[in-house]
Amino acid sequence: MKRIARLAVLMGMAVSGMAISASATRASSSRKPVVAEPGATVDYSGTLSLLTKFGVQQLSPYFVNAAHAYETLHPGVHVVLDQQTDDSVKDKTKTLVASNSLPDIYFSWTGNWGENFVRGNRAVDLSKVIASDTEWGKTFTPAAVASFVWHGKNYGMPLYLDAKFMGYNKQVFSKLGIGVPKSFDELLSACDTIHKSGMTPISIGNKEAWPAIHYIGQLLAYDVPEATLEKDFNPKTATYTDPGYLAALNQFTSLVTRCTDGGNMNGVSFATAIEDFSNLKSAMYYQEIIEFDGSASAQTPLKQNDFGFFVLPPAASAKGDTKAIEGAPEGYMINTRSKHVSLALDFLKFITSMSNAEALSAPPYGQPSAVIGAVTDKNSSSSVVAGMVDLNATPFLMPWLDTANTPGVASAWLNGIQALAGGSMSAAQVIEGVATAAKADADR
């Protein structure tokens, strides 16, 4: 997800998510599920409608060009686009669901947002065509495909990937004799050395509330077994009793104390924090792969040759998946009410062909495609290419906590971690608040 006005988006999602869940389930769950068949005949005629999240000026030409190319190949098809932004897509989706007028293909996040459509029987079962062992499914990063699986079935197609890495200044590390940290304790030790040099080790701007919970998400993937996380994502089965939750939050508190400017982060925007890293005021910044090229370029004091990255390392006591990376693909689903399911599926295969996937990954779009091999040194920086190697290898993409959870739980995480960073709540109180929110959401 792009970070422009992200907090407003997330809070809007909390309201919209509840509305989608209620109205999606009410009208559609009693209908027979729709399953996409791999050998179905495609009728290349009629109108195909799409709701995208590429409404901003930089991104909108991607679907416009793809639609035009598809219409050129199939003159009997007319593609109609409804291009929304991060801010507007949630409200537009809510309106379309309430009126039972979702288009043939529509945008979806992973986590609880996407599950609402599955629960309401709004999403076509794509298991036979995009599961990890299918011909099409094998073309995608495995963890990206798995992110659109609910109840053992595939309901979405990943379009592009995003994930978190710790960006660092190679010059600073070299000058201070610091190696790339392989464990959480080594990261804390590196921070101590950087602090002694007079530089801020890690810049964090948590005014928008989401930056800090990204640290928590990665640490939870390390400290809590995946099966437990999945159970606790569902309010009806959530307990939040695993000791890994408290361990992860205590690790974050240590990081705040030894690696950052402390509770002041809650008054600093994420944009200011990444600028501090780019302007050589901090040695590290926890960032998304889509931010790599913006934080280090020919136009910034930090040059690409001096930019390095590593996955936030796990603690030695980690009981979860130490190979996990926090991140999530964004993708598309097919409406079960569509009269053109096979055509919609054909279009999705078209936009994820290698040529279109490479175009998506390259400037001016710069969205790393979920298609394996689409990000290359010909269309992306060396850092982005290397980051995609890590993403393609990870067995588990830990979803963003603010989209994986139900609205009340997401808000509890956002508010609780902000309070933890500011020192007004303890780790135990945060977990208690999250558990309380889960019980409230389960009772709705």
Express each pLDDT in 120-171 by its tens digit. 999 999 999 999 999 999 999 999 999 999 999 999 999 999 999 999 999 9
pLDDT value for 125: 98
List, in order, residues 6 or more apart from 333 with CB less than 8 Å away: 105, 106, 108, 114, 117, 122, 123, 124, 155, 156, 157
Per-residue pLDDT band at 213 (split at 50, 70, 90):
very high
Structure tokens at 281: 């005021």
For residue 182, pLDDT beyond 50: yes
Q: What is the pLDDT of residue 29?
A: 55
pTM of this prediction?
0.83
Give me the residue label for tokens 């809590």: 224
> Predicted confidence band at 393 (pLDDT cuts at 50, 70, 90)?
confident
Give the pLDDT confidence score for residue 58 in this predicted structure.
87
Q: Note whether 114 and 334 are within 8 A (CB).
A: no
d(CA 84, CA 53): 5
Nearest Cα to Cα of residue 207 among 256, 266, 263: 266
**Cα–Cα distance between 352 and 374 in angstroms, integer?**
9
Separation of alpha carbons 20 and 27, rounded Å: 11
Residue 18 CB coordination number (10 Å): 17
Containing H/E element for 80?
strand 77-83
* pLDDT attached to residue 9: 42
CB 87 within 8 Å of CB 9? yes
pLDDT band per the 50, 70, 90 thresholds, residue 366? confident
Give me the count of residues in the chain: 444
What is the pLDDT averaged over residues 385-395? Answer: 89
Buried b (16+ CB within 10 A) or exposed e, 154-165: bbbbbbbbbbbb
pLDDT level of residue 438 (50, 70, 90 thresholds) = very high
Predicted confidence band at 28 (pLDDT cuts at 50, 70, 90)? low
Does residue 60 sit in helix, strand or coil? helix
CA atoms within 13 A on the CB side of 236: 1
Average pLDDT, rounded, for the chain: 92
- Strand boundaries in 99-181, DSSP class E: 105-108, 149-150, 153-154, 157-160, 164-169
pLDDT beyond 50 at 12: no
Tell me, what's the pLDDT at 7? 40
Q: Higher-confidence residue: 416 or 30?
A: 416
Q: Which CATH superfamily is domain 164-325+406-442 in?
A: Periplasmic binding protein-like II (3.40.190.10)
Pairing between β-strand 330-334 and β-strand 46-52 as defined by DSSP bridges: unpaired
Give tens-digit pLDDT for 85-108.
987 998 999 999 999 999 999 999
Q: Which residue would you say has higher pLDDT here, 411 or 90?
A: 411
- State the span(s) of the chain assigned CATH 3.40.190.10: 6-162+328-398, 164-325+406-442
Judge contact between 190 and 201, C-beta under 8 A.
yes
208, pLDDT greater than 80: yes
Domain 6-162+328-398: give its CATH architecture: 3-Layer(aba) Sandwich (3.40)
Candidates 112, 113, 392; CA nearest to 230 is: 112
CB neighbours of 18 closer than 8 A, spacing ≥ 6? 407, 444
Portion of the chain with pLDDT greater than 70, in percent:
93
Tell me the pLDDT tens digit for each residue of 283-319: 999 999 988 988 998 899 999 999 999 999 999 999 9
Mean pLDDT for 99-120 is 94
pLDDT-based confidence at residue 30 (cuts at 50, 70, 90): low
What pLDDT shows up at residue 20?
A: 58
Whether 47 shows a pLDDT value over 90: the answer reads yes
Average pLDDT over residues 10-25: 47
Q: Is the pLDDT of residue 22 over 80?
A: no
pLDDT of residue 364: 85
Tokens 């399911």 sit at which residue? 341
Q: Containing H/E element for 398?
A: strand 397-398
The DSSP secondary-structure symbol of 148 reads T
Strand-pairing partners, residue 326, are 398
Burial 83-117 (b: 16+ CB within 10 A, else e): bbbbbebbebbbebbeeeebbbbbbbbbbbbbbbb
